[in-house]
């Protein structure tokens, strides 16, 4: 019988590498959640600011609504709708960020459970992987 020319597989190193990649992904997803929250809030603020700044230039009296509402009422309705649009954009970005952050935390907790139960790792390696040291 011929002997295998490959070296024995270092299960310790492979497990550590796999868990490190998983933790990196969890941190990336959590970070992306924070970015989405900030971008969502800034987008909502910018929508309101540009809507209010552009209200004088863009808002012209609508001739078909002159009988129903005067110019000031039309302008107020426009401003209120812009504020609600900005709030909706900010809320959507915030919710998406919270969901992504929660997914990152869920993955982190799942990895903690897997690392804690891994027979290939020592207690020191487990603590290092979970960043408890």
Which residues in the chain land under pLDDT 70?
A: 1-9, 56-69, 133
Whether 7 contacts 75, CB under 8 Å: no
| pLDDT tens per residue across span 6-16 | 545 688 888 88
Q: What is the pTM of this model?
A: 0.75
Closest CA to 104 of 42, 44, 35, 39: 35
Distances (CA, A) of 49 to 40, 61, 71, 77: 14, 21, 21, 16
Q: In the chain, where are the structural domains located? A: 17-129
- Gap between the Cα atoms of 117 and 126, Å rounded: 9
Q: Give the per-residue pLDDT at 31.
A: 96
């Amino acid at each position: 019988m011929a002997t295998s020319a490959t070296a024995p597989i270092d299960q310790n190193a492979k497990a550590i590498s796999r868990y490190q990649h998983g933790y990196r992904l969890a941190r990336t997803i959590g970070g992306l959640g924070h970015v989405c929250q900030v971008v969502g809030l800034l987008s909502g603020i910018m929508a309101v600011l540009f809507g209010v700044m552009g209200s004088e230039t863009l808002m012209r009296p609508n001739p078909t609504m002159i009988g129903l509402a005067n110019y000031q009422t039309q302008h107020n309705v426009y401003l209120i709708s812009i504020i609600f649009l900005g709030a909706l954009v900010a809320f959507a970005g915030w919710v998406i960020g919270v969901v992504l952050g929660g997914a990152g935390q869920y993955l982190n907790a799942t990895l903690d459970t897997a690392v804690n139960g891994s027979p290939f790792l020592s207690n020191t390696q487990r603590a290092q992987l979970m960043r408890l040291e």
